Amino acid sequence: MDKLWHQIKTRGEDIGIAFFILGFSTMILFAGLIFAHISIEASLLDRVLFIGLALISVGLGFTSVGISTNSDKRQAELLARLDKNIGELPLLFKGDVLTPSGHKAVKELRGKQSKEVAQKRLDEDTRKVGYVRGELFQNEDGSWSIHWGGKYPL
């Protein structure tokens, strides 16, 4: 049963969209029957209406479960990356103040940021999005950085 629920949660959006489309199609059928003035029992029209609304509701429910599951997965991935990268943080900060070892680490990182490294980052971003989104500039300490936006759209 757990395995079935896990599959429903992971594929919830797809299942929900299918139910929503089916419910919407049923509602279109209902509207078509009304506009065609076909002499059908009112109870049958009510059933078609209720079935359509029920399918739409089930579709929205499955979609929300799927979106929630995907959101939980993304949050777990982000927290795992944060936990992995936060190992050195106590050495760099004491409360909200940057420690001397933190200042040293920041200077080392700035020194490593050469023009070639910054250009490589900018080229990778340009390849990824298909257009230029920033420009290189040199900091006062001699390191190079990227100024995002400005005359380039983000």
Encode pLDDT of 41-92 as tens digits.
777 777 888 898 999 999 999 999 999 988 998 999 988 887 776 665 555 6
67 and 128 inside one domain: no
Task: Count Cβ neighbours within 10 Å for each residue of 81-108 and write b for 16 or more, e otherwise.
Answer: eeeeeeeeeeeeeeeeeeeeebeeeeee
78 and 127 inside one domain: no
| Residues facing residue 94 across a β-bridge | 97
- Report yes or no on 102 lying in a domain: no
- In angstroms, the CA 120 to CA 106 distance is 21
134 and 73 inside one domain: no
C-beta separation of 12 from 60 below 8 A: no
Helix (H) or strand (E) holding 34: helix 12-35
- Report yes or no on 114 lying in a domain: yes
pLDDT tens digits, residue range 5-34?
888 888 888 889 999 999 999 888 888 877
pLDDT above 70 for 111: no
Confidence at residue 7, expressed as pLDDT on a 0 to 100 scale: 84
Q: Which of 85, 102, 129 marks a domain boundary?
A: 85
126 and 56 inside one domain: no
Structural domain that includes position 19: 2-85
Burial class (CB in 10 A: 0-12, 13-18, 19+), 6: exposed
- In angstroms, the CA 53 to CA 47 distance is 10
pLDDT averaged over every residue in the chain? 80
Q: What angle do CA 12, 14, 16 make, to 5 degrees?
A: 65
Q: How many domains does the chain have?
A: 2
- Report yes or no on 70 lying in a domain: yes
